[in-house]
Amino acid sequence: MSEPIQALPPPLSLIAELTHRCPLHCLYCSNPIELQRAEDELSTEVWQRVFQQAAELGILQLHLTGGEPLARKDLPELISAARAAGLYVNMITSGIGLAEDRLRALLDAGLDHLQLSFQDIEEISANHIAGTRAHAIKLALAPVLKKYPLAFTINLVVHRMNLDRLASFIELAEDLEPDRLEIAHVQYYGWALKNRSLLMPTEDQVQRSLPIVEAAKVRLKGKIHVESVFPDYFGSFPKACVGGWGRQTMLIDPSGTALPCHSAAVIPGLSFDNVRDHDLAWIWNNSPAFERFRGDAWMPETCLACPRKERDFGGCHCQAFMLTGDANAMDPVCSYSPHHSMLQLLRQPSSETFPIWRSS
Amino acid sequence: MQIQSILKMSPGCRLHPTQDVLLIPEGTLRLSGPSREVLMRIDGQRDVNAIVEDLLLQFSDANPDEVRRDVLTLLDRLEQRGVIKA
């Protein structure tokens, strides 16, 4: 008997979707159309075991997300188990339900970093986009966060409805004094795809936004670290989605299914494994869904011959599937893709679209 | 960054307990060479000069001027990145 081959490097981050319950109903929600139900969520004990296994596998960063992680009453226990295992603990939250005593409990448990997103600078529009009255609560939370030794990121999610106000939107974020600022164009996955023609910025908006973002990076250097996510429908080359399929990232959904990314379940024919049945190391090394697009065996000839394949790993398979019906196709964002011209049509904003919210 | 600057780690930034990695919000910085030795000495009390002196006790063969210059370069870069604050 020989030892199993351990050729794969371990993943860097684990995304834990603790629950799909959420008080917000954002138009651009990246969670799947079909959400997992509360009664199917993993127990405290299973999540704690998963975090221990993640650290043993070599994972460094844990991202607690949802839905809204605060909907889990056992959040302090989950955070302290993750910290005890040696993970860096980040929480992505709407801030709804984060009273100061609860915040203190999370900090005592070892929370390292928190990410708070904003939907717009004006309250009416922000609440419209979030599908609920959240803006004032978020604004009130930021100064409370500043009282504690906690790093926080403000994430400005931008699209056609708010991109014209980007400069003042950045000023609002600056006033709240975060450690990091993310300016992220909506990506069209999950629920967001339903609202694509409503959210799609115009070419002119995108062009005007780029120098504003670059200027903010320069101006805030050494004070607030600024990162931006480019709207890839406007690009010529695809993003290295999740750092490459099955290379850096593992996502566990609320019911324990292990996925290579947020949206992998849309791809037909993939077989996923569950943390109730297998440990993370087994899943990382053996789960067919993670194996499916590793390396370059799946690649069309154009990608195989392309020097960029080491940089973008062929782009996003979910996007290839959603736009062309074939997950093996090249990501249409790539200008070498035979489908690239379809993006030009999809970039045309429609004036006759209405917002579609999730029903609560 | 001055030789008398007193440094502390920014909130949300900490050394991994065992690996040569600095954990930061939404990322990790791989540490090369003696970077970890430098970062371990940032405690919100010592200035850069005291950190250099302490390093020289450990690396007694090193050239003090080179160590001072290398440490300042590293700390400058980390300050620009927001990982440490003067």
- Taking CB atoms within 8 Å and a gap of at least 24, the contacts of A317-324 are A317/A241, A317/A245, A317/A264, A317/A267, A317/A293, A318/A189, A318/A241, A318/A261, A318/A263, A318/A264, A318/A266, A318/A267, A319/A188, A319/A189, A319/A232, A319/A238, A319/A241, A321/A266, A321/A267, A321/A268, A322/A188, A322/A189, A322/A193, A322/A266
C-alpha–C-alpha distance, residues A116 and A95, integer Å: 7
Residue closest to A237 by CA, chosen among A340, A115, A96: A340
Mean pLDDT of B76-83: 90
Residue B20 lies inside a defined structural domain of this protein: yes
Question: Out of A113, A152, A222, whose CB is closest to B82?
Answer: A222
Please write the tens of the pLDDT for every residue from A129-182: 999 999 999 999 999 999 999 999 999 999 999 999 999 999 999 999 999 999
What is the rounded CA–CA span in Å between residue A303 and residue A321? 16
pLDDT of residue A7: 64
Cα–Cα distances in Å, from A281 out to A11, A48, A85?
10, 15, 15
A246/A240 Cα distance (integer angstroms): 12
Answer whether residue B36 is part of any domain.
Answer: yes
CATH number for the domain that contains residue B47: 1.10.10.1150
Residue B64 counted as domain residue:
yes
- The model's pLDDT over A306-360, given as tens digits with 9 standing for 90+, comes to 999 999 999 999 999 999 999 999 999 999 999 999 999 999 877 767 899 987 5
Position A2 scores a pLDDT of 47
pLDDT at A360: 54
A150 touches chain B (CB under 8 A): yes
Tell whether B82 lies on the interface with A, counting CB pairs under 8 A.
Answer: yes
Whether A31 and A262 have beta carbons less than 8 Å apart is answered as yes
- Chain A residue numbers with beta carbons less than 8 Å from the beta carbon of B18 are 86
The residue-averaged pLDDT of A92-105 equals 96
pLDDT > 60? residue A4: no
CA distances from A149 to A99, A104, A109, A178, B13 (A): 17, 11, 13, 12, 11
For chain A, the residue count is 360
DSSP reduced 3-state for A151: strand
The answer to whether residue B2 sits within a structural domain is no
Paired tokens of A226: 């600024």
Determine which of A88, A148, A229 to mutate to test the interface with B (most B C-beta atoms within 10 Å).
Answer: A88
Contact A61 B10 (CB under 8 A): no
Chain A nearest C-alpha distance from B43 (Å):
15
Inter-chain touch B14–A86, beta carbons under 8 Å: no
Q: How many domains does chain B have?
A: 1
- What is the residue-wise DSSP string for A31-80? S-SSPPPGGGSPPHHHHHHHHHHHHHHT--EEEEESS-GGG-TTHHHHHH
Q: CA dist A354 to A112, A161, A343, A357, Å? A: 39, 12, 21, 10
Mean pLDDT value of segment A217-233 = 92
Is the pTM higher than 0.90? Answer: yes
Q: Min CA distance, A15 vs chain B (Å)?
A: 12
The yes-or-no verdict on residue A5 having pLDDT over 80 is no
Does residue B27 belong to any structural domain of this protein?
Answer: yes
Sign of CA dihedral B55, B60, B61, B65: positive
Q: Looking at the domain assignment, is residue B3 inside a domain?
A: no
CB-nearest partner of B21 from A60, A112, A179: A60
The pair of structure tokens assigned to A345 is 């049509």
From chain A, the residues in CB contact with B14 under 8 A are 88, 112
Give residue A8's pLDDT. 81
Q: Which residue of B has its CA nearest to A64?
A: B26
Distance between B17 CA and the closest CA of chain A, angstroms: 8
% of chain A residues with pLDDT over 90: 93
A224–B28 CB contact, under 8 Å: no
Number of residues written out for chain B = 86
- Using one digit for the tens of pLDDT, what is the confidence trace for B11-46? 999 999 888 999 999 899 999 888 999 999 999 999
What pLDDT, in 10s, does the model give residues A10-41?
A: 999 999 999 999 999 999 999 999 999 999 99
CB of A225 within 8 Å of a chain B CB? The answer is yes
Residue contact B25–A12, C-beta within 8 A: no
Kindly list the strands in the beta sheet with B14-15, ordered across the sheet, starting from the edge strand earlier in the chain. B14-15, B21-24, B27-30
SS3 A266: helix
Q: Which residue of chain B comes nearest to A92, CA vs CA?
A: B26
Q: Name which of A87, A225, A226 to mutate to probe chain B: the one with the most chain B Cβ atoms within 10 A of its Cβ.
A: A225
What is the longest distance spanned by two Cα atoms in chain B?
37
Kindly report, residue by residue over A253-284, the tens digit of the pLDDT. Answer: 999 999 999 999 999 999 999 999 999 999 99
Q: Does residue B31 lie in a domain region?
A: yes
Helix (H, G, I), strand (E, B) or coil at A178: coil
> Has residue B69 been placed in a domain?
yes
How many angstroms separate the CA of residue A150 from the nearest CA in chain B? Answer: 5
Gap from B23 CA to chain A (nearest CA, Å):
7
- Cross-chain Cβ contact A151/B14 below 8 Å: no
Q: Kindly write down the DSSP assignment for every residue of A185-213, as one continuous string.
A: E----GGGGGGHHHHPPPHHHHHHHHHHH
The verdict on A257 touching B (C-beta cutoff 8 Å) is no
Question: pLDDT higher for A9 or A115?
Answer: A115
Q: What is the extent of the structural domain holding B78?
A: 8-85
For A184-217, how does the pLDDT look when each residue is reduced to its tens digit (9 = 90+)? 999 999 999 999 999 999 999 999 999 999 999 9
For residues A324 and A300, what is the distance between their CA atoms, to the nearest angstrom? Answer: 14
